[in-house]
Copies of this chain bind each other. A is one copy, B any other.
């Protein structure tokens, strides 16, 4: 907190301080090639000395683009987005793009939807990592991709997601492979959960087994997992395994198991989905499905870049193969 003296330096100030032209400063800022090392150093020294920070507002306005990709998140408490962001960032940062995050609960009333806020800042592309709504994309005129499987289809937007049906199958096959026959599934609201349940259902029926499914009151939170698992355990005390639609719900299911005196994995096997930080906690050591969200992020960035290059690129869906992550919450039935 220094430099309160006078107004902010601009590109002219830097240029004259470095003894070069304003255009050269602009080139250095954008990391353009073909600038002599000596002059580049001079410019960088001046920037440092003046504490110059380029105005993104001016750059965006003049260039008619922000070199920023906006991401709409749904809920900070469900940590699946962390790897998604990392994947986006890793792919985009080297190309000079920033990632800006918007979440639904915030900035409402100023903008009708989080997408409006992003559009107002003239993002060059949008990643929708939540269930989209009609009004959200009504005015989207930049490349958009939906990350994750959703109920609604956004016209013109690519979809990049992990293969939730396959993930559901993997989880269920793992349990059956261990010898389980009485298997319950704790599901939730939303497209991804529906597909995971679909994978579960298919494998169970394919194996001649009865798919037992329960859903909580809310969405896909811990309390929903708790509730649903409690119901499952009550309806069928001979249940030996539960597949939860995500790790958070699995945490809820683990609570239900504990409350019903079932040890994991001795009395009940439990498998989650997402491979979130929660799954690796020592208290759970949760076997789970890794949706490889980093790859999803990478794929979303890729799709955006392609469509920025050629807006006429046909819309496509890219599915990332999920994989089973073995930990200690699943075992053969007693």
Contact = CB atoms under 8 A, between A and B. Distances in A.
Interface of A: 1-4, 8, 51, 53-58, 60-61, 66, 76-77, 79, 81-82, 85-86, 89, 93, 96, 98-101, 105-110, 116-117, 119-122, 137-141, 144, 154-157, 222-223, 226, 251-252, 254-256, 258-259, 277, 280-284, 311
A188 to B, nearest CB: 16
A78 to B, nearest CB: 10
Contacts of A1: 137, 140-141, 144, 154-157
A53 B141 CA distance: 11
B8 A120 contact: no
Which 4 pairs of residues, A with B, have the shortest CB-CB distance?
A255-B282, A1-B156, A57-B60, A255-B283
A226 B79 contact: no
Nearest to A283: B255
Nearest to A285: B255
Nearest to A252: B282
B99 A106 contact: yes
Given A55-B120, A120-B55, A106 B79 contact: no
Contacts of A98: 106-107, 110, 117
A152 B55 CA distance: 28
A54 to B, nearest CB: 6
Contacts of A101: 101
Given A255-B283, A281-B252, A106 B89 contact: yes
